[in-house]
Chain A
Amino acid sequence: EAGVAQSPRYKIIEKRQSVAFWCNPISGHATLYWYQQILGQGPKLLIQFQNNGVVDDSQLPKDRFSAERLKGVDSTLKIQPAKLEDSAVYLCASRVAGGPADTQYFGPGTRLTVL
């Protein structure tokens, strides 16, 4: 079974530029998450999708971050414009739509450096 795919793996941009990350979840997984992991901290949930609908985006900085999951499969996360404090690893995870104890499977992440 293929895992969660993310691209690019690394991205370096200057502040005020725009950037987009892509995630392809495990086939059949209805729930998709984007987490932000700042160096030295645990991952923090940014947004959760159930199929193509948003379940929780309470911690997404909506003035600069946006995300979509068209057709309930792939997802993109965009930052426009980027700030220095956005430097982090962005992790995508997916799980079968079931109970909260169902395992979330994580992708390798995209490491963003904002200069």
Chain B
Amino acid sequence: AQSVTQLDSQVPVFEEAPVELRCNYSSSVSVYLFWYVQYPNQGLQLLLKYLSGSTLVKGINGFEAEFNKSQTSFHLRKPSVHISDTAEYFCAVTVPSGNTGKLIFGQGTTLQVKP
């Protein structure tokens, strides 16, 4: 079975500072990895995904993530955050085999950007 652990429940950061949101996963098989963002009272929006190939993945809104197979990590980064990045961020995995596309989510990290 797969599981996802987001190492920080809350990350406060000042505007224009860099940020890293940490995600580790556990799986005995290869997985696809995703980061979603959830703004208040909204559904989840895909930021980026890793399927294969280059381990550095670029997404929307200036975010990027790096897949590290040896450390089973998929940390999300942004070099300079804005107030508008304040939201809940979820890391998720799915298994390529089969076709269910079932997503297994971490518990989320609240990014709080302060002026």
Contact = CB atoms under 8 A, between A and B. Distances in A.
B92 interface: yes
| Tier of interface size on chain A | 20 to 34
B41 A108 contact: yes
A48 B103 contact: no
Given A43-B90, A55-B100, A101-B96, A109 B108 contact: no
A31 interface: yes
B105 A106 contact: no
Contacts of B101: 31, 48, 95, 99-102, 104
| Residue picked from A101, A102, A109, most chain B C-beta under 10 Å | A101
B75 to A, nearest CB: 17
A4 interface: yes
Contacts of A100: 32, 94-96, 98-102
Interface in B67-115: 90, 92, 94-96, 98-108
B interface majority secondary structure: loop
Contacts, number: 71
B108 A48 contact: no
Nearest to A38: B107
Interface residues of B, number: 28
A97 B4 CA distance: 25
B27 interface: no
Contact of B108 (A4, A33, A41, A108): A41
Given A48-B102, A95-B101, 15 more contacts: A4-B43, A40-B108, A41-B107, A42-B4, A42-B107, A45-B102, A99-B101, A100-B32, A100-B98, A100-B99, A100-B101, A102-B101, A107-B43, A108-B41, A109-B42
Interface of B: 4, 9, 32, 36, 41-46, 49, 51, 90, 92, 94-96, 98-108
